[in-house]
């Protein structure tokens, strides 16, 4: 695909001078922070070369950052006079950084960037208090990875599983003999969140300027009831998450018919057990009705521009091109990601895992859009709630306890 040719000189990005600090003949050098393993080195090199060819007046200097500790590093950079010009950040981190006042408001660029078609799971957390700071970059979400051979042996047609009821019926049929119908550990809280959203509930809600935990609402409790029903059809632990033990290892070592994971989990399964190559398939997490896939948590990244950048016009040009249709299609194919717009889903039609992911992404959500959510994830009372219910606790009582813990964490910020 040809590179999109774009112009700089964007007055809406503030009064930036766009001068470089080098002797490159008047060109603008921008510093860009991208995250480790978000894209391959090959794709990064391809994009940078294409971008610099299209924009010979802009030089791109990419610095790869580690996810571990990135929140503190970005916070410090935004408060300094030496911030990078473009930063890749996790979609749910944008509110935290925007709260400090250190991000450039890009609200007036949403239309130009095709924002009406953005995945809401990237766009909504990229906004804070009615202003758009984060520009959707790429998305990934969970799907069902299944053993095609075990489905065939049980006479189950994966393509016919469109609803939750059909999913339960199929899993019950698969769960026989030495075959485990599904491996779903007790603390997979992102999966629970999807079931809660399906029911019209949420993890927390804002009222009167304050956030409150919402796991004790009727809708959220119905989501928990479905989780409990599905989890009972496997032999997953009730007191640990999908990383303990790694569920890909569990699937690789035994006759596990299904796991809920991002499609990349299939590669890990095959690495552990090469005999399963060609025996894994994908389908979207089913919803309550056949017309709507199950809700999923949308992971992924947004791109932001620090207010401290002195090269905001060039930084915006970089973001506009990387998040534009031409490069989004290339990125999706190269990395098996979901593109940032619903209108680009066909770009991954030939990739079974990414195609299933794209279907679910249309019903993607993000965690509550507030800086205080970071404190919830740090303590994660949702995991404790799941284990308590799955080990016999009263759902209503345990939901009230978890909701109170969420409320306290969100409003204390600690």
Q: What is the pLDDT of residues 339-370, one digit of tens each?
A: 999 999 999 999 999 999 999 998 999 999 99
pTM: 0.86
Strand order in the sheet with 280-283: 258-261, 143-147, 280-283
Task: Give the pLDDT confidence score for residue 9 in this predicted structure.
Answer: 26
Task: For domain 143-297+368-412, say whether CATH 3.40.190.10 is its number.
Answer: yes
pLDDT in tens, 16-60: 334 344 434 568 999 999 999 999 999 999 999 999 999 999 999
Mean pLDDT to the nearest integer, 72-78: 95
The confidence score (pLDDT) of residue 31 equals: 98
Note the pLDDT of residue 5: 25
pLDDT digits (tens, 9 = 90+) for 81-121: 889 999 999 999 999 999 999 999 999 999 999 999 999 99
Give the span between the Cα atoms of 291 and 34, in whole angstroms: 37
DSSP string covering 4-24, please?
Answer: PP-----GGG-S-----SS-S
Predicted pLDDT of residue 115: 98
3-state DSSP percent of the chain in helix, strand and coil, to 5? 45, 20, 35
List Cβ neighbours of 46 (8 Å cut-off, separation of 6 or more): 330
The whole-angstrom separation of Cα 293 and Cα 114 is 24
Q: Round the average pLDDT of the chain to a whole number and report it.
A: 92
CB 153 within 8 A of CB 201: no
d(CA 12, CA 315): 13
Q: How far is CA 56 from the centre of its chain?
A: 33
Q: Is the pLDDT of residue 12 over 80?
A: no
Report the pLDDT value the prediction gives residue 48, as an integer from 0 to 100.
Answer: 98
Kindly state the percentage of the chain with pLDDT values over 70: 93
CATH 3.40.190.10 spans which residues of the chain? 16-141+299-365, 143-297+368-412
In the predicted structure, residue 396 carries a pLDDT above the cut 50: yes
CATH code given to domain 16-141+299-365 = 3.40.190.10
Residue 14 has pLDDT above 60, yes or no: no
Instruction: Encode pLDDT of 146-180 as tens digits.
Output: 999 999 999 999 999 999 999 999 999 999 889 99
Helix or strand (DSSP H, E) at 92? none
From CA 288, how far away is CA 316, in angstroms rounded? 41
Between helix 395-412 and helix 218-231 the angle, nearest 10°, is: 120
pLDDT at residue 25, as a whole number? 53
At residue 413, the pLDDT reads 53
Question: What is the pLDDT at residue 378?
Answer: 87
For residue 219, pLDDT over 60 is answered with yes
């Amino acid at each position: 695909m040809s590179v999109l040719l774009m112009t700089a000189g964007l007055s809406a990005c503030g009064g930036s001078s766009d001068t470089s600090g080098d002797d490159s003949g008047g060109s603008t050098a921008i510093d860009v922070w991208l995250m480790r393993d978000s894209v391959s080195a090959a794709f990064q090199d391809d994009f940078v070369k294409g971008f610099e060819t299209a924009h010979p007046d802009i030089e791109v200097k990419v610095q790869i950052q580690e996810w571990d500790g990135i929140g503190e590093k970005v916070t410090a950079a935004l408060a300094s006079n030496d911030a990078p010009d473009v930063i890749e950040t996790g979609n749910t981190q944008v509110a935290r950084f925007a709260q400090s006042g250190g991000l450039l408001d890009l609200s007036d660029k949403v239309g130009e960037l095709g924002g009406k078609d953005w995945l809401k799971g990237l766009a909504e957390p990229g906004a804070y208090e009615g202003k758009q700071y984060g520009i959707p970059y790429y998305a990934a979400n969970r799907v069902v990875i299944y053993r095609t051979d075990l489905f065939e042996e049980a006479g189950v047609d994966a393509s016919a599983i469109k609803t939750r009821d059909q999913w339960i019926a199929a899993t019950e049929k698969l769960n026989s003999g030495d075959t485990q119908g599904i491996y779903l550990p007790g603390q997979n809280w992102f999966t629970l969140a999807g079931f809660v959203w399906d029911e019209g509930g949420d993890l927390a809600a804002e009222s009167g300027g304050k956030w409150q935990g919402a796991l004790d609402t009727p809708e959220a409790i119905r989501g928990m009831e479905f989780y409990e029903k599905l989890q009972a059809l496997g032999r997953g632990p009730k007191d640990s998450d999908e990383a303990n033990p790694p569920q890909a290892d569990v699937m690789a070592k035994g006759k596990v018919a299904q796991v809920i994971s991002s499609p990349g989990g299939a590669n890990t399964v095959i690495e552990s057990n090469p005999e399963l190559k060609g025996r894994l398939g994908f389908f979207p997490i089913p919803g309550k009705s056949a017309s709507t896939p199950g809700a999923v948590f949308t992971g992924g990244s947004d791109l932001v521009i620090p207010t401290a950048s002195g090269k905001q016009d060039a930084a915006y040009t970089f973001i506009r091109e990387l998040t534009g249709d031409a490069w989004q299609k290339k990125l999706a194919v190269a990395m098996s990601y979901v593109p940032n717009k619903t209108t680009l889903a066909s770009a991954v039609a030939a990739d079974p895992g990414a195609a299933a992911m794209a279907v679910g992404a249309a019903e993607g959500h993000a965690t509550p859009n507030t800086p205080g959510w970071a404190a919830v994830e740090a303590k994660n009372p949702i995991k404790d709630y799941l284990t308590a219910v799955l080990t016999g606790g009263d759902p209503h009582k345990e939901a009230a306890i978890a909701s109170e813990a969420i409320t306290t964490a969100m409003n204390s910020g600690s």
